[in-house]
Structure 1
Amino acid sequence: MYEGVVQDLIDELGRLPGVGPKSAQRIAFHLLQAEAVDVRRLADVLIEVKARVKFCSICFNVSEDEQCRICRDERRDPSVLCVVEEYKDVVAIERTREFRGRYHVLGGAISPIDGIGPDQLHVKELMPRLADGTVTEVILATDPNLEGEATATYLTRLLSPMGLRVTRLASGLPVGGDLEYADEVTLGRAFAGRRSAQ
């Protein structure tokens, strides 16, 4: 335990996701040793982000405008909608340069143990986007874990009566991975999703 404001800084940094007590302490002491101008720049950016960044009124991606750049881009295919858990997933998919449709960010995944159900996600906002018939395929790109699977299963059941093509991202073995280290679920999916070698 440190005294006063140093401990307050460590405590606040420790509240960030993925930052444990040791990392919080390391970051705090890095900031203490940094030049005042660098710390001020960081503080200014944090304040500016909170003031300027909001969520897209259509897809709930992060944006500085009412609508994000993807929703404003008329070159994107409006007939294909990719549903993701978080806005960081949009960035991951965009990096592949394979997807040219639009997105819908749920804001999380169904997790009863954490008290998160469909009502806590942007599911109700998804339905009007599908009602006018423009969207013909919904790609469910939720994480391949228990919560992501529960979310995908729920959405599949919800969307199936609408006559849409509902697809799920393929999953299986990573490139460069070894079979002996793959868990049963991953290996099972790799077999289920196998394709012709020709």
Structure 2
Amino acid sequence: MNAIETLVGELGRLPGIGRKTAQRLTYHILKGSRDDARRLARAIDRLASEVRLCGACGNLSDMDPCEFCRSPRRDAGQLCVVEEASDIPAIENSGNFGGLYHVLGGRLSPLDGVGPEDLNIRGLLRRIDDPVREVIIATNASVEGEATATYLQRLLASSADVRITRLARGLPVGGDLEYADGVTIAEAFAGRREM
């Protein structure tokens, strides 16, 4: 396979990128300067070599602990549980949350063979102690996200003495947090409910 087809194939593996878009991106890169292409390649290489999971929350970061876990300005009494690290920027952009995060690394999906042992649930249970007053479950409004939220609610209710809330239904069913706008996320936080 030649270099063009190799890059088209690799770009086509990205979510939301079909073959036509992968071809357009490849030819756009080729039309640019060699310096631009090399800068892109270095950025991807740096991403692959420097970014890792935060040992505390599971967020993706080039520092351990991540910027949120290190910050003394964050409210350690609130813990927002998300499916993926890609959900955090959407919540941060809403400007309505100043606590800490916990990344599960996915959601329960028995049909896909994803069970509780495949998620960062043990890490969550280790973090639920004295400073945590509230756990906000911010899984996506999908069937799997709801199943994950229900599982966590039952698990936490039986093992921890904390307030457990769920984001309100301002988020569309079947939608992902990373695609929601800040106002929608702000409304979901404002209307969160007990579980």
TM-score (norm 1): 0.82
The residue number in structure 2 matching 1:183 is: none
The residue number in structure 2 matching 1:90 is: 88
Superposed, 1:154-193 pairs within 5 Å as 154-161=151-158, 162-172=160-170
Identity %: 50
The residue number in structure 1 matching 2:111 is: 113
Identify which of 134, 137, 140 aligns with 1:140.
Answer: 137
Identify which of 73, 76, 94 aligns with 1:75.
Answer: 73
- Structure 1's consecutive aligned runs of 4 or more residues displaced over 6 angstroms after TM superposition are none
Structure 1 residue 153 corresponds to structure 2 residue 142: no
- SS of match in other structure, 1:102: strand
The residue number in structure 1 matching 2:46 is: 48
The residue number in structure 1 matching 2:13 is: 15
Aligned-residue offset at 1:172: 3.5
The residue number in structure 2 matching 1:177 is: none
Aligned-residue offset at 1:163: 2.5
Aligned-residue offset at 1:173: 7.2
The residue number in structure 1 matching 2:23 is: 25
Separation in structure 1 between the aligned mates of residue 97 and residue 64 of structure 2, nearest angstrom:
23
State the one-letter code of the partner of 1:110: L
- SS of match in other structure, 2:165: strand
Identify which of 61, 64, 79 aligns with 1:63.
Answer: 61
Separation in structure 1 between the aligned mates of residue 53 and residue 170 of structure 2, nearest angstrom:
32
Which consecutive unaligned segments of at least 5 residues does structure 2 have? 173-187
- SS of match in other structure, 1:23: helix
State the one-letter code of the partner of 1:141: A
Which consecutive unaligned segments of at least 5 residues does structure 1 have? 175-189, 194-198
Separation in structure 2 between the aligned mates of residue 98 and residue 173 of structure 1, nearest angstrom:
15
Aligned-residue offset at 1:133: 2.2
TM-score (norm 2): 0.83
Aligned-residue offset at 1:84: 0.5
State the one-letter code of the partner of 1:40: R
The residue number in structure 1 matching 2:100 is: 102
Separation in structure 1 between the aligned mates of residue 5 and residue 111 of structure 2, nearest angstrom:
31
Q: Does structure 1 retain, via aligned residues, the 8 Å contact 2:80–2:137?
A: yes
Higher Cα radius of gyration: 1
Separation in structure 1 between the aligned mates of residue 28 and residue 136 of structure 2, nearest angstrom:
42
